[in-house]
């Protein structure tokens, strides 16, 4: 199969239409069998529930070319499971996780020419999503839904790739104490748009959000969970009911323990103690592990010892081990790698 003529090493995190996407429709109580289509556009009624009441959720995962030339995805079953939970939280009919993995497989197979080659630094980002399709004017869930999957080749989420970034403590919240922070609802991202534009305007790469109830504890950023490394080499990460259960973070915890022999801890982390950590990183599908060099809290700078030039040493080891597993040169735990072709 011939790859598309794309300058793989120089693409950013943007959308580029590929040849095929998947669509399945839910009507009269069941999902249809689903098809691949070449049409990237969707026609909706002006009163579609997604347009009026934001009834939509999504997922994000990647396909990789491994060292030996296979195309694989990383733990897609967990994305399928999370999307079932997101759908339930928004009163949408879950798209079954087994069918989710099948839809991902079909889309990646059909767009194999867009999967960036091994070693290019790029990957194929896969975006499953679903939304309330029919016209709804009183506040209630839709009756008809679409589940779709498209994909697009991407480079690093943060400009500069592995260079440490600067983030600020946000005055805005991304989630409510008993709200939707733990599911991947589009509305959480709408909540973060003003905050991210304002952060960029003020020279910051991202926002770090505090817990919405007390505003004293670290939660996560707009698109990634957070990890810290203590001075004695322990991995510590926030525990909260209002953050997204990141598949990357859950995988890193296991990698830290089982591959690197590190101690790990999931607990509440107070903003006050952040100054005592040795390293900080953002983790997620898009972010992979992006090092944080500095957190700015209302003019007060918290600078991590590894500085602004390169990743801290422990973050680097975690990054190499995780991406080594994803790219196939380190043996993965049972069930983590889904081979597509
Ligand atoms: N937190 C938020 C708000 C996100 O949007 C994402 C991205 O999916 C993550 C965390 C990381 O989750 P995952 O590692 O499953 O991609
Ligand atoms: C992902 O990492 O898949 C996300 O959904 C984050 C998004 C902000 C691009």
Domain harbouring 219, CATH code: 3.20.10.10
Shared-domain flag, residues 86 and 180:
no
In b/e form, how buried is each residue of 6-21, taking b as 16+ CB within 10 angstroms?
Answer: bebeebebeeeebebb
Count how many domains the chain has. 2
Domain extent for 79? 8-154
Cβ atoms of 277 and 236 closer than 8 Å: yes
pLDDT at 81: 98
Rounded to the nearest angstrom, the distance between the alpha carbon of 247 and the centre of ligand 1 is 7
Looking only at the bridges linking them, the beta strands covering 337-339 and 279-284 are unpaired
- Check pocket membership of 312 for ligand 2, CB cut-off 6 A: no
pLDDT at 307: 85
- Check pocket membership of 245 for ligand 2, CB cut-off 6 A: no
- Tell me, yes or no, whether 333 lies in a domain: no
The ligand whose atoms approach the alpha carbon of 175 most closely is 1
Total residues belonging to the chain: 341
Domain end, chosen from 133, 154, 175, is at 154
Please give all residues whose beta carbon lies within 6 A of any atom in ligand 1, as ranges: 60, 220, 223-225, 244, 246-249, 284-285
Q: What is the DSSP letter of 331?
A: P
Residues 257-272 have pLDDT tens digits of 999 999 999 999 999 9
Q: Walk along the chain (341 residues) in steps of 10 and give the mean pLDDT of each run.
A: 90 95 98 98 98 98 94 98 98 98 98 95 96 97 98 88 91 95 97 96 96 96 97 97 97 98 98 96 95 95 91 95 94 96 92
Residues 134-150 have pLDDT tens digits of 999 999 999 999 999 99
Domain harbouring 139, CATH code: 3.30.470.10
pLDDT at 156: 84
State both tokens at 16.
């580029």
Shared-domain flag, residues 75 and 114:
yes
- Check pocket membership of 285 for ligand 2, CB cut-off 6 A: yes
Predicted TM-score (pTM) of this structure = 0.96
- Tell me, yes or no, whether 336 lies in a domain: no
Query: Among this protein's residues, is 310 annotated catalytic?
Result: no
- Got the DSSP string for 64-92? EE-TTS-EEEE-HHHHHHHHHHHHHHTT-
Q: Give the active site residue among 3, 97, 159, 184.
A: 184
- Tell me, yes or no, whether 335 lies in a domain: no
Residues 202-259 have pLDDT tens digits of 999 999 999 999 999 999 999 999 999 999 999 999 999 999 999 999 999 999 999 9
Cβ atoms of 154 and 12 closer than 8 Å: yes
- Tell me, yes or no, whether 341 lies in a domain: no
């Amino acid at each position: 199969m011939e790859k598309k003529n794309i300058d793989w090493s120089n693409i950013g995190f943007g959308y580029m239409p590929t040849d095929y996407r998947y669509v399945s429709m839910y009507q009269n109580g069941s999902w249809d069998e689903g098809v691949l289509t070449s049409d990237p556009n969707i026609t909706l009624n002006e009163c579609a529930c997604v347009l009026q009441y934001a009834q939509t959720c999504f997922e994000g995962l990647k396909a990789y070319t491994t060292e030996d030339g296979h195309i694989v995805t990383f733990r897609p079953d967990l994305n399928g499971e999370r999307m079932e939970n997101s759908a339930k939280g928004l009163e949408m009919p879950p798209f079954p996780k087994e069918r989710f993995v099948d839809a991902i497989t079909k889309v990646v197979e059909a767009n194999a020419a867009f999967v960036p080659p091994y070693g290019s630094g790029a990957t194929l980002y896969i975006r499953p999503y679903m939304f309330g399709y029919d016209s709804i004017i009183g506040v209630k869930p839709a009756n008809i839904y679409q589940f779709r999957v498209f994909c697009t080749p991407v480079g690093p989420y943060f400009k500069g790739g592995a260079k440490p970034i600067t983030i600020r403590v946000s005055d805005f919240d991304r989630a409510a104490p008993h709200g939707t922070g733990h599911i991947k609802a589009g509305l959480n991202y709408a909540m973060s748009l003003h905050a991210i534009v304002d952060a960029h305007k003020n020279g910051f790469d991202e926002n770090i959000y505090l817990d919405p109830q007390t505003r004293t504890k670290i939660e996560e950023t707009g698109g990634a969970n957070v990890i810290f490394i203590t001075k004695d080499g322990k991995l510590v990460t926030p525990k909260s009911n209002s953050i997204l259960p990141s598949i990357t973070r859950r995988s890193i915890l296991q990698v830290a323990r089982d591959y690197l022999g590190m101690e790990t801890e999931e607990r509440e982390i107070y903003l006050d103690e952040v100054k005592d950590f040795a390293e900080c990183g953002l983790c997620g599908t898009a972010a992979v592990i992006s090092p944080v060099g500095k957190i700015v809290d209302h003019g007060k700078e918290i600078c991590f010892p590894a500085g602004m030039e390169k990743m801290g040493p422990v973050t680097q080891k975690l990054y190499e081990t995780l991406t080594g597993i994803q790219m196939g040169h380190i043996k993965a735990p049972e069930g983590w790698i889904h081979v597509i072709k």
